[in-house]
A and B are shown apart, each in its own frame.
Chain A
């Protein structure tokens, strides 16, 4: 089982390769979209790289639950915003994410913008823990 530092270094390499950013731009608190310039397709690239680097499997929708984001039944999303039920579900499904600022204006389109480097490390660590 790699140490937290090794996990961070592995995540950093994946992000540097996927996003063509410099090493020193990748800090635990960097946001993937805002600070590192990730676009939606980059998230898939990052997942591929993390899976390969750590020999783990990150299922579709684990970073951002796509069934909630794409909800058309107005159960989780209404007028572009997460409903209370949607927020509760997001908290359950994205326990790694700091939702404090997002909750003040929970526009679903902004959900991917909250993901940080530390969140990626958390996901990798959880996956490695559950494999051992």
Chain B
């Protein structure tokens, strides 16, 4: 089982910003219980989807070398929580800071033009402190980038097309 909370990345500008879409569907098991006759997309999973978007931006910014985890949510506000099946959310993330041990992204979630949520997420690189733990395997994050079709839309830091590092030009 995989933990994917976005469907596709539609904008990916290296070291700057990214956008992703999440289509909410009644086919998702968790909505059957959250809640039984009134399905509602959980806010925590909206944050997770946004974190996946920003995490991949940070992962690419550090040359695909560091495993990135959501470390802290310094601030986050939900303006609306009534996200229901059949709706599409757009997550927008902007990388504010990135360095060797982590980074910070300012983030928003929209339903069409309506701002649903916004905040700030902080990420850390797992680094040597967690070298004895395998939260996820080598290559997992790159596989996610392919799955979310980042290399179809990605722009590298120099403005050229972002290439899959494991594929020849």
A positions within 8 Å CB-CB of B: 17-18, 41-42, 44-45, 48, 51-52, 60, 70
Contacts and interface: CB of A to CB of B under 8 A. Distances in A.
Interface in B81-129: 96-97, 99-104, 122, 124, 128-129
B58 to A, nearest CB: 13
A52 B124 contact: no
B104 A48 contact: yes
B74 interface: yes
Contacts, number: 32
Contacts of A48: 97, 99, 102-104, 122
Interface of B: 71-72, 74-75, 96-97, 99-104, 122, 124, 128-129
Given A17-B74, A18-B74, A44 B102 contact: yes
Contacts of B96: 52
Contacts of B102: 44, 48
A45 B122 contact: yes
Given A48-B102, A48-B104, A48-B122, A42 B72 contact: yes
A42 B74 CA distance: 9
B137 to A, nearest CB: 23
A44 B124 contact: yes
